[in-house]
Amino acid sequence: MISVSSPVFSMLDFEMALGFVSQEFDAWEIVGEGKHFLPSIEGQFLDAASSFDLQFSAHAPLSDINIGSLNPRIREASVREVTNGLSSASKLNMSVYTVHPGFYSPIGLLDKRSVFERTRESLALIEKVSRDTGVRVALENMPNLGPVAMGRTPDELFPLLDGLDMDLCFDVGHANTTNSIEGWLAHKERFANVHVHDNLGDRDAHLPIGEGNIDYQWVLSGLEGYKGRLVIEARSLGEAITSRDRLRKLSAFKR
């Protein structure tokens, strides 16, 4: 199933965004921040969503969140934001919740090992809530953002997950900026979620599919057997529709 997600939607009132998305898509990954912080919209969601034939998943808050921060107050607040959203996702009957790893702050760049350890501790706390609620957490691979990014390649991300019962959110566009798409596809059995968008490999541009250099015919062939959603991450609803229509035309996409 093709789904859609965009931080732009989170700037709209929930019911307005719901109306726009439902006209074009069968599934929506809600970015749980801005006006769509899940604990804040539980009532609206339960009142309105049942009137629409949509399936839902959620992305944890992104802005100002660092679960690997060496500042314990920032880290605790970040984990609380993520887990509060995860608990709400359970109440809203969402089955998948996508989370970003930590990142290296200026002081974190001086002690990367501690950032790794703090991120692992935070993920263990998130995993516990995942077990308690029954909502699967998918940890997302990050793009090449210079020295601040964690979890850009399988070699970087899998050590964060060692011993934890978590799935993966494979972001194809992110992987293109680290030249690691093929390496990620080797782990498709662990994918709970796949994010799709395009770029030229130089930065995380979130272009419509077909406007970058990613060979999505090849990617979709590599995803054969994957049963989850393809989530179009777009800068606008119009660009999401463009990507959806181009996905549907690819012969390897048979769902």
pLDDT tens-digit map of 171-220: 999 999 999 999 999 999 999 999 999 999 999 999 999 999 999 999 99
Containing structural domain, residue 97: 2-249
The answer to whether residue 86 is domain-embedded is yes
Q: How many helices (H) and strands (E) does the chain have?
A: 9, 8
Tens-place pLDDT, residues 78-123:
999 999 999 999 999 999 999 999 999 999 999 999 999 999 999 9
Kind of pairing between the strands at 96-99 and 167-171: unpaired
Q: Is the dihedral of CA 250, 216, 94, 227 positive or negative?
A: positive
CB atoms within 10 A of CB 249: 11
The answer to whether residue 78 is domain-embedded is yes
Does this model's pTM top 0.85? My answer is yes
pLDDT value of residue 50 = 85
DSSP string, 84-148: HHHHHHHHTT--EEEE---B--TTGGG-HHHHHHHHHHHHHHHHHHHHHHTPEEEEEPP--BTBT
pLDDT value of residue 255 = 43
When mean pLDDT is compared across 49-53, 136-140, 143-147, the lowest value belongs to 49-53
pLDDT value of residue 252 = 47
Domain count, the chain: 1
Tens-place pLDDT, residues 13-32:
999 999 999 999 999 999 99
pLDDT value of residue 79 = 98
The answer to whether residue 169 is domain-embedded is yes
Tens-place pLDDT, residues 29-43:
999 999 999 999 999
The answer to whether residue 254 is domain-embedded is no
* Unique residue bearing structure tokens 């048979």: 254
The answer to whether residue 154 is domain-embedded is yes
- Percent of the chain residues past pLDDT 70, beyond the cut: 98
Q: What is the largest CA-CA distance in the chain?
A: 51
Q: What is the CATH number of the domain that holds 15?
A: 3.20.20.150
The answer to whether residue 255 is domain-embedded is no
Range 130-157 average pLDDT: 96
Residue 37, φ and ψ in degrees, nearest 5: -60, 120
